[in-house]
């Protein structure tokens, strides 16, 4: 058995990877990880911004629907918006002081490291978006 191993080594039939080959593969993986991790962070931030802006638009739509369905109520609360179909996303808080002719809805996001983690939409639908 031992002679068989020595014979295959002498004939150049030894299989496996050398240390240099393994180091090159590890270096390539490290370079790819160094590129991918910052990009992943940016993708997450853009996703959070899109979620905040979408929440603002959804809250506005629910506020308009609630105000049309209930013309005697002048300032809807977040609970009123929930009855009109608005559900805030996870780690998002909403406040409102909107009426049919004035006010805003403010959507604030969690601790995500955004430049602006607040989206504000006014009574006529103009949005001040969150920013990454």
Contact criterion met (CB below 8 Å) for 130 and 94: no
Domain membership flag for residue 5: no
4 inside domain: no
Residue 72: give the domain boundaries: 19-128
The verdict on residue 93 lying in a domain is: yes
pLDDT at 4: 57
- Kindly state whether residue 116 falls inside one of the protein's structural domains: yes
Asked if the structure places residue 50 within a domain, the reply is yes
Structure confidence by residue, pLDDT tens digits, 58-84: 999 999 999 999 999 989 999 999 999
Work out the average pLDDT over 35-40: 92
> Is 98 in a helix, a strand, or coil?
coil
Model pTM score: 0.75
C-alpha gyration radius of the chain: 29
Q: Residue 86 falls within a domain, yes or no?
A: yes
Distance of CA 108 to the CA centre of its chain: 14
Reduced to 3 states, what is the DSSP secondary structure of residue 33?
helix
In a domain, 123, yes or no: yes
Tokens of 55: 């929440």
């Amino acid at each position: 058995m031992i002679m068989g191993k020595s014979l295959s080594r002498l004939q150049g039939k030894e299989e496996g990877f050398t240390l240099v080959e393994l180091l090159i593969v590890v270096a390539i993986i490290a370079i790819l990880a160094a590129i991918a991790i910052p990009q992943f962070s940016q993708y997450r931030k853009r996703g959070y911004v899109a979620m905040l802006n979408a929440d603002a638009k959804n809250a506005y739509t629910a506020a308009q629907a609630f105000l049309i369905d209930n013309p005697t109520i002048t300032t809807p609360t977040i609970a009123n918006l929930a009855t009109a179909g608005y559900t805030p996303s996870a780690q998002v808080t909403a406040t409102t002081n909107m009426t049919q002719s004035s006010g805003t809805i403010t959507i604030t996001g969690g601790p995500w490291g955004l430049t602006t983690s607040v989206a504000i939409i006014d009574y006529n639908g103009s949005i001040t978006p969150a920013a990454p």
